[in-house]
Amino acid sequence: MADQHLQAWTKPHALLGRAAQWGCVVREIDAGMRDWTSLLGIGPWILVRDFSAYSFTHRGETVLPELTVAITYFGDIQVELIEQRNDAPSPYRDFLAAGREGIQHLGFWPADFAAARAAVEASGHAPVFFAQPNAPVNPTIYFEAPERVGPMIELSEIPEPRKRAYARMRELAENWDGSAPVREFASLATLFA
C-alpha cells in the first residue's frame, strides 16, 4: 500500500518541479513583514491591497475574500504573505480558524499546467479553492493535502508579464540595501504595468 501511494506521487512531482513559493497566512500583514525581515533579513516587500481583479470559488461557492498580499524573495523562493480582512469562506480563513499562522501552501508554477493539475487530482487530492484573474489564463488552484503533510498545494499558471515582474522582484530582493522595506501598489494592474 505504501509503495502504491508513493508511485501515485511520482508523476505529480515530476510535473510540478520545485516549489517556487512559500504562501504564508498572517493575521496582520505589517507585523508579518517585520517578523520575516527580522528573522531572515529579507525584503523589500511588494504590498498590494486590491485583489478585485480576481474572482474566487471556495468548495464550489463563489466567495469574496478581501485580501492584502505582500511578496518578496528568499533566494529563488518567493515568500508571499496573505492577510484576509473579512470573514468570507476561504482556505486562509480556515487556516486561521484552526489556530494556525505561517506557511499555509506551497506554490508550484508548472510548465504544463493542465498535466500537473490532472496528475495531482489523479493522486486523490481535490481542488478546493480557485482564484481566477480577469485574464485568459488558468485559475490558481489550491489542493488539499494530508494533515501529515501540512501545507496545501497551489498550482499557478504564470504568464510572461508576471514572470517578468517576479524576476524584477527577485532582483530587487537580491540587491536590497535595507531601505524602503515596503513598496506599496494600489492594485495588481499597477504592479504588473
Q: Provide the residue ranges of all domains of the chain, joining segments of one domain with +.
A: 12-178
Q: In the Cβ-directed half-sphere of 35, how many Cα atoms lie within 13 Å?
A: 14
- Overall size of the chain counted in residues: 193
Q: Are 26 and 34 in contact (CB under 8 A)?
A: no
In angstroms, the CA 150 to CA 55 distance is 26
In angstroms, the CA 147 to CA 167 distance is 33
Cell numbers 535595507: residue:
178
Element (H, E) at 150: none
- The hierarchical CATH code for the domain 12-178 is 3.10.180.10
Least confident of 1-10, 52-61, 171-180: 1-10
pLDDT of residue 1: 44
Mean pLDDT of the chain: 90
pLDDT band at 178, cuts 50/70/90?
Answer: very high
pLDDT band at 64, cuts 50/70/90?
Answer: very high
Res. 131: pLDDT tops 90? yes
In angstroms, the CA 65 to CA 56 distance is 8
Q: What percent helix, strand, coil does the chain show, rounded to 5?
A: 35, 30, 35
